[in-house]
Amino acid sequence: MAGSKEILLGRIRDGEPLALGQQVKLTLYLCGPAIMAQLASVLLQFIDASMVGSLGANPSASIGLVSTTTWIFGGFAMAAAQGFSVQVAHLIGSNDFAQARNVVRQGLVSVIVFSICLSVAGLSIAGPLPGWLGGSPEINGAASAYFRTYVKFLPASQLVFLGATMLSCSGNTKVPAMLNVMMCVLDVIFNFLLIFPARDISLFGLQVTVPGAGMGVRGAALGTGLAEAVTAIAMLYFLLVRSKELNIVHEAGSFRPTSHCLKHALGICGPMWVQNVIMRGAHIASTVIVAPLGAVAIAANSFAITAESFCYMPGYGMGDAATTLVGQSLGAKRRDLVRSFSRITLVLGMGMMSALAVVMFFIAPQLMSLLSSDPDVVALGARVLRIEAFAEAGYAASIVAYGACVGAGDTTVPSIMNLASMWLVRIVPAIFLTRMYGLVGYWICMCVELNVRGLLFICRISGDKWMKNMIKTT
């Protein structure tokens, strides 16, 4: 399979024709590992969340309260990585591997400095953050501890993002997928040891003492951070040493970022940073809207979002494939393939997420019961999940089309579309509907908004303007 993938990617770079069947085959080659990694990630997130959920509603609510803020910081790190990895995709598409490796060097230094600054900023707001978000006194202390531990590991998270996106944009989606699966497994292991205290369990009729740190919510953040640190080391090894296209150990080169490279990186990630602030600001606004509903609603909202990730797997897998295929095709000046790959990934992503939405609708109570033992949390979470099932096709369209736009370096207009949809269609109506119908009102607004956003992105990639943002590589 790997050989066929390399041959097909080579045909893009060398200007050779690709039949429709070959395009679909290449798309599946690239998205397959990413989808499997998403599947493992979702299953292990369920286990992870259920560990915290077993502690009760308040510990779950403390993590849910700051989850949108952790997304903001993670979004900054991901966008910074994309600013350099999209350049790598374009350069590989134009067969300029030497310059691609230069971007790897410069990107490595740039994101390390950026993530350290991001971590310091996070530590400065960790104390008052839960109060700003409208949290209650019984959960604010644990929420601060969780967020403080999370931001300390942001440099490790940043390096995971950088390694994964650069390897994927080179056409290697298998290694990032395997390492992300490893990270999820390590996360569960570390959490198992750090969240709970030492205890005796029965194993095959024998009493066995299991060690444990008994750190509770803070242990969940520490476990995730340690898993990210181990994975970052492995990801950098495969990127800098083992990658056929991007390894930098066999040739000299400067690690000093150039104005040319930084300018293009900022041109890509700048709009994504603005989008991240305003979009995640909308998520924080949603937290503030939901927080007054109480611990049960906060926990149900957080767990339902985790459960909904059951449907995300093919969407994000296809989005990653779209970024790689569009980026390399545009670098090779193959606009016909840019258009074709964007439509293939869109159709496949929407079809797969729609199928999973049907499954989610029928097993919503079972999904929620895996995450929480509180019957009120399970019932409310299942109810809103069934509403959200009707949004998955539109959400798939927005995920995959956005991935295609990122691969083209087209981030400004898509960011504006995301922001307008999120604030005008979701947040503003939710202020009123949540007061009337509780958490159900908020998720109705979310469902409508995701469908509107999907239609906007379908319209965007149906035209040609989004393909006119190719990065100049010389």
Q: Which residues contact 253 (CB under 8 A, 6 or more apart)?
A: 101, 102, 105
Query: CA-to-CA distance for 258 and 391, rounded, in angstroms?
Result: 43
> Is the sign of the CA dihedral 404, 408, 409, 413 positive or negative?
negative
Query: CA-to-CA distance for 290 and 295, rounded, in angstroms?
Result: 10
- pLDDT tens for residues 363-422? 999 989 987 888 999 999 999 999 999 999 999 999 999 999 999 989 899 999 999 999
Nearest CA to 326 out of 23, 1, 16, 4 is that of 23
How many Cα neighbours within 13 Å face the side chain of 40?
Answer: 18
Q: Which residues contact 366 (CB under 8 A, 6 or more apart)?
A: none
Per-residue model confidence (pLDDT) at position 116: 97
> What is the DSSP code string of 102-149?
HHHHHHHHHHHHHHHHHHHHHHHHTTTHHHHTT--HHHHHHHHHHHHH
**pLDDT at residue 157 tops 60:** yes
Which SS3 state, helix, strand or coil, does residue 211 take? strand
> What is the DSSP code string of 183-207?
HHHHHHHHHHHHTSEEEEEEETTEE
**pLDDT at residue 310 tops 80:** no
Q: What is the pLDDT confidence band of residue 474, given thresholds at 50, 70 and 90?
A: very low
Q: Which residues contact 470 (CB under 8 A, 6 or more apart)?
A: 90, 330, 331, 333, 408, 409
**pLDDT at residue 333 tops 60:** yes
Q: Which residues contact 103 (CB under 8 A, 6 or more apart)?
A: 84, 87, 88, 91, 261
To the nearest whole percent, how much of the chain has pLDDT over 70?
A: 95
Per-residue model confidence (pLDDT) at position 70: 86
Query: CA-to-CA distance for 312 and 79, rounded, in angstroms?
Result: 19
Q: Which alpha helices (H) appear in 153-173, and where do they start and end?
A: 154-169
- pLDDT tens for residues 4-59? 878 888 888 888 888 999 999 989 888 887 777 666 666 655 666 667 777 777 88
CB 250 within 8 A of CB 170: no
**pLDDT at residue 200 tops 80:** no
> Is the sign of the CA dihedral 202, 211, 40, 247 positive or negative?
negative
Q: Which alpha helices (H) appear in 291-311, and where do they start and end?
A: 295-308
* Mean pLDDT along residues 187-202: 85
- 279 φ/ψ sector (left φ>0, alpha ψ -120 to 50, else beta): alpha
**pLDDT at residue 152 tops 90:** yes
Query: CA-to-CA distance for 338 and 329, rounded, in angstroms?
Result: 6
pTM for the predicted model, two decimal places? 0.81
**pLDDT at residue 232 tops 80:** yes
Query: CA-to-CA distance for 399 and 372, rounded, in angstroms?
Result: 28
Record the tokens describing residue 142, joined without a space.
Answer: 């644990």
**pLDDT at residue 2 tops 50:** no
What rounded mean pLDDT belongs to the chain? 88
Query: CA-to-CA distance for 252 and 213, rounded, in angstroms?
Result: 46
